[in-house]
Amino acid sequence: METKTLKTEELILNMGPQHPSTHGVLRLELELEGELIVNVKPHIGYLHRCFEKHAEAMTYPQVVPYTDRMDYLASMSNNLGYAIAVERLMGIKVPERVEYIRVIMAELQRIASHLVALGTYGVDIGAFTPFLYCFRDREKILSLFEMTCGARLLYNYIWVGGLSHDIHPDFVRLTKEFVEYFRPKIVELNELLSFNKIFIERTANIGILPLDTAINYGVTGPMLRASGLKWDLRKNDPYSIYDRFDFDIPVGEGEKGTVGDSWDRYFVRVQEMEQSLRIVEQAIDQIPEGNVHEAVPKRVKPPKGSIYSRVENPKGELGFFIISDGSVNPFRMKVRGPSFVNLSVLNEISKGHLVADLIAILGSTDIVLGEVDR
Amino acid sequence: MYDILTNIFGNQIVAYIIGAALPLFVWILPFVLFAVLGERKVSAHMQDRLGPMRVGYHGILQTVADLLKLLQKEDIVTPAADRKLFNLAPYIVFLGSYAAFAAIPFSSIYIGSGIEVGIFYILAVSSFVVVGILMGGWASDNKYSLLGAMRSAAQIVSYEIPTAIVVLTLVMLTGTLNLNTISQQQTAYFWNWNILGGAAGSGITQILLIPFMVIAFVILFISTLAEVNRTPFDIPEAESELVAGFHTEYSGMKFAMFFLSEYANMFAVSAIVVTLFFGGYQSPFGYLGNSLGIPWLIPVEQLFWFLAKGVFFVFVQMWLRWTLPRLRVDQLMTVCWKYLIPYAVFNLLIVGIISLL
């Protein structure tokens, strides 16, 4: 007698856009075999706001608030990236004071963004408490920003040629206090989460991203560095005044598993926070006197031409490609969002893992849907 | 206990019904109200927050307000759901956890049923929860619920084995399945508790037993954590993966029933741990009733000690939940089959040899 094998079929699981762990309105179409992932198809576009097209109808300074809304966890860095692009296009030299404040803001923003990434990563793995510890510390950075420009999330602070406001008289003191306060908190986070046995079990050797795959997909930022390449635009293509500061670029070493696994991606971010603290510490003592509005042009009207300018955002390389036709509006603007590019590698690294691992992998890529969709 | 109730109500049947309902209204419901708030407060203070503060003094009425809200909620049943199973599931889950209370000795005179096979009965009825969870997960017609229910069934069934082996160890030592007898054996001061080798009597065997009893306790505590789906074993309802697991589609009072049974279960497993290892209702010191010469005070004291110990272990469960991340489903099985079960069997053998000395 012939035995019939039971017919099996793949389970299609629709994850998101309303799902607690897709970090926003990302929809993932999972093809599962049991709980093993055969294929992941990210569906994006739920937060698409036509930023690039909108920018064509705006004057250059009016675009700044739109850049806030791309990677809304790192608005300062977005502002900086855009401002630098337009300044390069126009050939503006900004005052020293502005440069120093910009660097401090960008590095504080990097810490704030990484804190969200690390905290929510803990939630993805099931540890809720580190998340609130991270948010408690991020709150202090947001207070510094609020004191400076009045906003807590979307700052519109770094303008073309300068800043919207000068810093508050207390800012320097409070920032120094924050640096003092925050150093031991990183140790606390490491004790609570980074070196927790269960956490390591869940993240080490999960979602290994080999270096060549990372480069082929154009992955940047902590994800690329976790795969072992020392590539940081602050060192490799210095902008602003980053060449004046002394800091290291942490890379993934495969300490708990393989180079480029989720734990490495997580831990590179932890180490980057320490490096950002170092930069802030060095910069805060050197802020020169000056007028932050000195170089702000009355009318932003770049000459004909085009420019691609990139900065190292907390999530990776944020590039602005701007074509100017000599009018007050950009003729064409294209943004290279690190989240978008980093998300593209998801399917490659999550095949063959379990659904629970997919959450760990997605969390370690640290995407912000505002930037994926723009 | 039933004699007293029969005396009060004059009718044996009424007395039995009331006796069966007592733990629910006198202990489980107030405990759940307290534990839900407790969980929120414990987590809040661990996370540098205050937790609920608005309803009543320091938010003590928050759970009552939540319960009232849940009562008013619309009872949504998804169109494709299997209505019968869907509606039945929460009650079966609750039945499983509530029935366990029948054999738990709260105090020397207050025990729902002093059946001889008490611990065996508890292990058996608490498996009922799996049926309810599978039912709910299947009937919801939701892939997340189904995955959650499957994981849950696999997890609970697996972790019953180390639980049973540890219980067997204790049964071997104490020579009885009756929880009341086990409690009575651990009377008079805490060095007679089973965790300190009390069951072996005294002398060198008791001291030899201590490390193995601690191992047995740790195994039992870990596997009971897994049986009640608490972190680090809360995989069936892993919110970051499966939304809310098997009860994703439930709303209103049916959801509250799942919630109720989860917390009732937390206390039930703590009660088992307490009874088997920490003297049950026995006071760690002497009894105030003895020294004052008031005999009726003793059962009251026993009740107090039992609840205090039980609540302490519930607190430990909460503590773990808000500290640890979650294991992955295959790692959970690894922990059970590769570590807990071999250790438990090995422990059983050693304890057996020691008790023969």
Domain ranges of chain B: 1-72, 82-356
Q: Determine the Cα–Cα distance for residues A249 and A55; give it in Å rounded to an integer.
A: 34
Contacts of B48 in chain A (CB under 8 A): 132-133, 136
In angstroms, what separates the C-alpha of A372 from chain B's closest C-alpha? Answer: 21
- Looking at every residue in chain A, the average pLDDT score rounds to 86
In angstroms, what separates the C-alpha of B318 from chain A's closest C-alpha? Answer: 12
Summarised one tens digit per residue, pLDDT across range A192-245 is 888 888 888 888 888 888 888 889 998 988 888 888 888 888 888 888 888 888
Amino acid at B192: N
Q: Does B329 touch chain A (CB under 8 A)?
A: yes
Q: Which of A19, A35, A192 sits opposite B147 (nearest CB)?
A: A35
Query: Is this prediction's ipTM beyond 0.85?
Result: no
In angstroms, what separates the C-alpha of A251 from chain B's closest C-alpha? Answer: 25
Is A202 in contact with B327 (Cβ distance < 8 A)?
A: yes
What 3-state DSSP class applies to A303? coil
Q: Which two tokens stand for residue A310?
A: 């990139």
- Under 8 Å CB pairs connecting chains A and B tally to 75
- Report the pLDDT averaged over residues A270-281: 90
Contacts of B143 in chain A (CB under 8 A): 11, 13
Is B325 in contact with A355 (Cβ distance < 8 A)?
A: no
Summarised one tens digit per residue, pLDDT across range A290-343 is 888 887 888 888 888 888 988 988 888 898 999 988 888 888 888 888 888 888
In angstroms, what separates the C-alpha of B187 from chain A's closest C-alpha? Answer: 39
Q: Which of B47, B49, B234 sits opposite A126 (nearest CB)?
A: B234
The Cα-based distances of A2 to A5, B268, B334 in angstroms read: 10, 51, 36
Is B143 in contact with A357 (Cβ distance < 8 A)?
A: no
Q: Does A205 touch chain B (CB under 8 A)?
A: no
pLDDT (0 to 100) of residue B185: 77
For testing the chain B interface, which of A12, A13, A121, A125 should be mutated: the one with the most B CBs within 10 Å?
Answer: A125
pLDDT (0 to 100) of residue B199: 62
Residues 6+ apart with CB under 8 A from B222: B162, B335, B340
- Report the pLDDT averaged over residues A9-24: 76
- Report the pLDDT averaged over residues A79-95: 88
Q: Does B44 touch chain A (CB under 8 A)?
A: no
Q: Which of B43, B232, B325 sits opposite A122 (nearest CB)?
A: B325
In angstroms, what separates the C-alpha of B222 from chain A's closest C-alpha? Answer: 14
pTM here is 0.83
pLDDT (0 to 100) of residue B237: 64
Residues 6+ apart with CB under 8 A from B110: B1, B299, B303
| Secondary structure letter of residue B250 according to DSSP | -
β-strand A11-15 against A27-33: which pairing, if any? antiparallel
For testing the chain A interface, which of B328, B329, B330, B338 should be mutated: the one with the most A CBs within 10 Å?
Answer: B328
Contacts of B43 in chain A (CB under 8 A): 128-129
For testing the chain B interface, which of A21, A128, A193 should be mutated: the one with the most B CBs within 10 Å?
Answer: A128
pLDDT (0 to 100) of residue A2: 61
Long-range contacts of B180-183 (CB under 8 A, 24+ apart): B180/B105, B180/B108, B180/B111, B180/B114, B180/B118, B182/B119, B182/B275, B182/B276, B182/B280, B183/B105, B183/B108, B183/B275, B183/B279, B183/B280, B183/B281, B183/B282
- Report the pLDDT averaged over residues A63-78: 88
Is A128 in contact with B327 (Cβ distance < 8 A)?
A: no
Contacts of B46 in chain A (CB under 8 A): 129
Which residue in the block uniquely carries the two structure tokens 């910069």? A283
Amino acid at B119: I
Is B239 in contact with A356 (Cβ distance < 8 A)?
A: no
Is A128 in contact with B47 (Cβ distance < 8 A)?
A: yes
- Report the pLDDT averaged over residues A158-175: 87
Name the nearest CA neighbour of B261 among B253, A58, B214, B350: B253
pLDDT string in tens for chain B (357-residue length): 666 777 777 777 777 777 777 776 777 788 888 888 888 888 888 888 888 888 888 888 888 888 888 888 888 778 877 788 888 888 888 888 888 888 888 877 777 777 778 888 888 888 888 888 888 888 888 878 888 888 888 888 888 889 889 888 888 888 888 888 887 777 767 777 777 776 666 677 777 788 888 888 899 888 888 888 777 777 666 665 666 677 777 877 888 888 888 888 888 888 888 888 887 787 777 777 777 777 777 888 888 888 888 889 988 888 888 888 888 878 888 888 888 899 999 988 988 888 777
- pLDDT for residue A1 is more than 60: no
